[in-house]
């Protein structure tokens, strides 16, 4: 758990939005999820529709996203479950257990998977807005 908190703190530190936010504490049980591009998402800070933000994404076990891109770069931290985020078509999944993270370059095609049977919870942080562009 300490590894996860350190990873999240490091990602947030580079975003610059924390200086504008009042100190606060939010329990995972208080997160309010809403639908964004067909995924349950809960707000961390900022607005994913307009700029720098962080959010939590829940994926049911066995979920495989369609191949897609995002305009902005982002970092993802695995909080629960086991995730794979692969760019190459047909790539072998590299399991990312809780505490692991990945960097996804904007404009680069990829597939994100929850490869565990249990739900995955991911913390995402980006300096830009969040969008989702399916790729055939």
pLDDT tens column, 71-80:
999 999 999 9
The pLDDT value recorded for residue 38 is 86
Query: Residue 91: CA atoms inside 13 Å, Cβ hemisphere, count?
Result: 15
* CA dist., res. 89 & res. 29, Å (int): 36
112 has pLDDT over 70 = yes
Counting DSSP H helices and E strands in the chain, the numbers are 1, 10
6-27 average pLDDT score: 63
Q: Domains, the chain, ranges and CATH?
A: 2-19+32-134 (2.60.120.10)
Structural tokens at position 91: 């790539």
Q: What is the pLDDT of residue 28?
A: 86
């Amino acid at each position: 758990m300490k590894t996860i908190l350190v990873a999240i703190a490091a990602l947030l530190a580079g975003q610059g939005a924390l200086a504008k936010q009042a100190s606060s504490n939010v329990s995972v049980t208080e997160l309010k999820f809403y639908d964004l591009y067909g995924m349950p998402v809960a707000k961390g800070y900022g607005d994913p529709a307009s700029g720098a933000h962080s959010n939590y994404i829940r994926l049911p076990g066995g979920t495989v996203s369609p191949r897609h891109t995002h305009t902005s770069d982002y970092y993802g931290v695995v909080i629960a479950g086991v995730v794979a985020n692969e760019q190459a078509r047909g790539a072998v999944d590299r399991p990312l257990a809780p505490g692991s993270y990945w960097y996804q370059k904007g404009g680069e095609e990829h597939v994100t998977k929850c490869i565990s049977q249990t739900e995955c919870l991911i913390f995402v942080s980006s300096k830009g807005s969040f969008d989702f562009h399916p790729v055939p």
